[in-house]
Structure 1
Amino acid sequence: MAKRYDKEFKVYAVKLVVEDGRKAAEVARELDLVPQTLQKWVARYKEDQENSFVGSGNRSPKDQAGYEKDKRIRDLEEEVAILKKANGHLRKKAEVIYGFIQEHHHEFRVEKMCQVLGVSKSGYYEWRDRPVSDQSKRKQKLTAQIKRIFIASKKRYGSPKITQVLRNEGVPVSPKTVSRIMKENGLRSKTVKKYKATTNSKHSHPVYPNLLNQDFRADKPGQVWVSDITYIWTREGWLYLATIMDLFSRRIIGWAMSHRMTKELTLTALRRAINQQTPQKGLIHHSDRGSQYAAKEYQALLRKHHITTSMSRKGNCYDNACIESFHSVIKKELIFHEDYQSREEAKRSIFSYIMTFYNSKRIHSTIGYMSPMAYEKMYLRKIVS
């Protein structure tokens, strides 16, 4: 008499292959199964996880009625889920819809997707099994590369930056092509409305002249530092972020975060900058006229390391545009997409962004579409050779 296996057994057997990554032949041998049988189960499971083994084992009439009701509910839920994900594909060519079905066939039933999206199942399988043209292969490869870069940037890069990364990797491509592929695949960079914060310039401390005059060029590291403060909302209340950027490479060399916007906040960021990049003769430190930067203790630390003070003109945000641009970027790419439950959660998130993405990976048009750290290394190689 042939052996019979219920649904639970089949699912557990299949998961040994699909989820644990074991070889089907090895699992079949251990379970005393014909290898071809297990392979069929695996194929059915991949095609339709929810209903792959319907009918396996015995079910009472009452259970059957309940099952049918649940199945109808699942069908409706699945249709809604498909429509939500395929919203941008509904009026596209059949080939585009087939591509969507292929991409999501592990998530939804092929038959159900074809039904909802108005294409034939046979048409999909014919498209899927058709020999891939060289042009399609090139597009598939390019699409995979674009997705890789997009995901690596944590969905922060748009088509211009992805185009530049591809070119840096030796892939000749136009921004128009990248933009089209991103649109076809629903890849949209994180962008949010700009948000501005200012410090308090109404104080009795001395202020200093603007030595930069909006000339944001630097010939080497450690020539000009620019600094500013911004703030971030968390469920615990405001968190303040002070940063110092080296103007040459746009690298953030000093940072500090606190629940209070005090001179100690900016002093901590300055100490970290000094520890990161030993001040050289002629270094200019530029900031706005905020009391935290004009404070006696802050200016004393600058003098101690022979750093010259420069300050923006009153009410002119463009005088400190580079560091304000960084604060705009971190908010658009990270902060405005989060709902921080605590200041500590925000601190860890912001630290990770600055140290593991912005400084080391994020490319900048102003420095030849390189990351700050890569740009500095290139400069050091040049002066050494």
Structure 2
Amino acid sequence: MCGVLRERSPVSDRYEFIDSVRFDDTAEYAFPVTFMCERVGVSKSGYYEWRNRPKSATAERRDRLMLLIRKAFDDSEGTYGHRRVHAQLQRWDVQAGPELVRLLMRRMDLEPCQPRPARECLTEPDEDARIPDLVGRDFTAPAPGMKLVGDVTYIPTSEGWLYLATVIDCCTREVIGYAMDDHYRTPLVIQALKNAQRNGKVSAGAVFHSDRGSNYTSREFGCFLSEQGIRRSVGRTGICYDNALSESFFGVLKNERVNRVVYPTRERARRYITRYIEHWYNHRRLHSALGYNTPAEIYAAHQEMRLAA
């Protein structure tokens, strides 16, 4: 797979962990150095030898680290926590343990934006629709284009709601198709899937999974899927876990973009959301479920493997 990162020697990481816990004034518990060294598998003498290096060298290293941490944080528009910042530093081949990154971010008052505990629901249940659940909460796939999930969310603007329908690939976590309009009726979700097909990222016989909303269970949408040779799958009404991958993306979108910007018009919101998906989420945002690679990198790796086979 692409984007595989080289691992550094874990000894320095362990020393940095001990140092960060020992000198972190906000830590709830304080442990003796001997106890911590035993638990992480390093010698006490080795720790003190590492700790007693010239302060100037340590200070210079941390100054350089803080500059790079600030760049990674700012490049993410303030959305990265210490784990993603640490992953970005690794991609830059910068040696730093995750605990040191966490400590320095705290000292620099770098706090990522946090999701709001809000719930939304656009689902108009169609309990009479007899459609199976072909996914069963398994949001993985061996290759791109085989298993897709979709949903609709709303974005507030001064002109009224802008509705966003998405199609996400379970293998790469990439938003492979989307559509926006001032309604969330069936033509909107069909257009999102057509856009995914236009991008060449829907395989023959693919499964498309959604919630049990009336737009996804409609006869019009069912006929479209049948014509395209796509198998329809839906979860249960009101059970968000049955479409958790779509819910997760919308949570990230709201946290990192929608809740931080006031959109005066639908067109302005449309441009911002398009930019977020195309330039940030699909190509630059490090995804924890992908080993801190981007969706575009995972897709490229699968394409390389397919061509080499």
**Pair 1:311 & 2:234 matched:** yes
In the TM superposition, residue 200 of structure 1 has moved relative to its aligned partner by 3.1
- Where does residue 10 of structure 2 map in the other structure? none
In the TM superposition, residue 279 of structure 1 has moved relative to its aligned partner by 3.1
In the TM superposition, residue 239 of structure 1 has moved relative to its aligned partner by 1.3
After superposition, residues 136-147 of structure 1 pair within 5 angstroms as 136-147=59-70
TM-score, with structure 1 as normaliser: 0.63
- Where does residue 111 of structure 1 map in the other structure? none
Give the number of aligned pairs: 256
**Pair 1:157 & 2:83 matched:** no
SS in 1 for 2:220: helix
**Pair 1:381 & 2:298 matched:** no
- Where does residue 156 of structure 2 map in the other structure? 233
Paired AA for residue 302 in structure 1: L
- Where does residue 256 of structure 2 map in the other structure? 333
Give the Cα separation in 2 of the matches to 1:181 and 1:140. Answer: 10
Query: Bigger relative contact order, structure 1 or 2, given CA contacts below 8 A and separation 6+?
Result: 2
SS in 2 for 1:340: coil
Question: 1:205 touches 1:296 (CA, 8 Å); kept in 2?
Answer: no
- Where does residue 213 of structure 1 map in the other structure? 136
SS in 1 for 2:85: helix
- Where does residue 112 of structure 2 map in the other structure? 189
Looking at CA atoms only, which structure, 1 or 2, has the larger radius of gyration?
1
The correspondence for 2:286, drawn from 356, 363, 383, is: 363
Give the Cα separation in 2 of the matches to 1:275 and 1:140. Answer: 48
1:56-85 CA-to-partner distances (Å, cap 9, x unmatched) read: xxxxxxxxxxxxxxxxxxxxxxxxxxxxxx
In the alignment, structure 2 segments of 5+ residues that lack a partner are 1-53
Cα 1:187/1:324, change in 2 over 3 Å: same
- Where does residue 42 of structure 2 map in the other structure? none
Give the Cα separation in 2 of the matches to 1:323 and 1:208. Answer: 19
Give the Cα separation in 2 of the matches to 1:190 and 1:224. Answer: 31
- Where does residue 14 of structure 2 map in the other structure? none
**Pair 1:292 & 2:220 matched:** no
Give the Cα separation in 2 of the matches to 1:182 and 1:149. Answer: 11
Question: 1:287 touches 1:310 (CA, 8 Å); kept in 2?
Answer: yes
RMSD: 1.9
1:301-339 CA-to-partner distances (Å, cap 9, x unmatched) read: 211111101100222110100011000000011111111
After superposition, residues 1-385 of structure 1 pair within 5 angstroms as 133-203=56-126, 206-385=129-308
In the alignment, structure 1 segments of 5+ residues that lack a partner are 1-130
Give the Cα separation in 1 of the matches to 2:201 and 2:147. Answer: 12
1:243-264 CA-to-partner distances (Å, cap 9, x unmatched) read: 1101100000111111112112
Give the Cα separation in 1 of the matches to 2:231 and 2:76. Answer: 36
Give the Cα separation in 2 of the matches to 1:152 and 1:158. Answer: 12
Which structure dedicates a bigger proportion of its chain to helix?
1
In the TM superposition, residue 207 of structure 1 has moved relative to its aligned partner by 3.6
TM-score, with structure 2 as normaliser: 0.78
1:92-127 CA-to-partner distances (Å, cap 9, x unmatched) read: xxxxxxxxxxxxxxxxxxxxxxxxxxxxxxxxxxxx
SS in 2 for 1:136: helix
Give the Cα separation in 2 of the matches to 1:253 and 1:371. Answer: 13
In the TM superposition, residue 347 of structure 1 has moved relative to its aligned partner by 0.9
Question: 2:186 touches 2:216 (CA, 8 Å); kept in 1?
Answer: yes
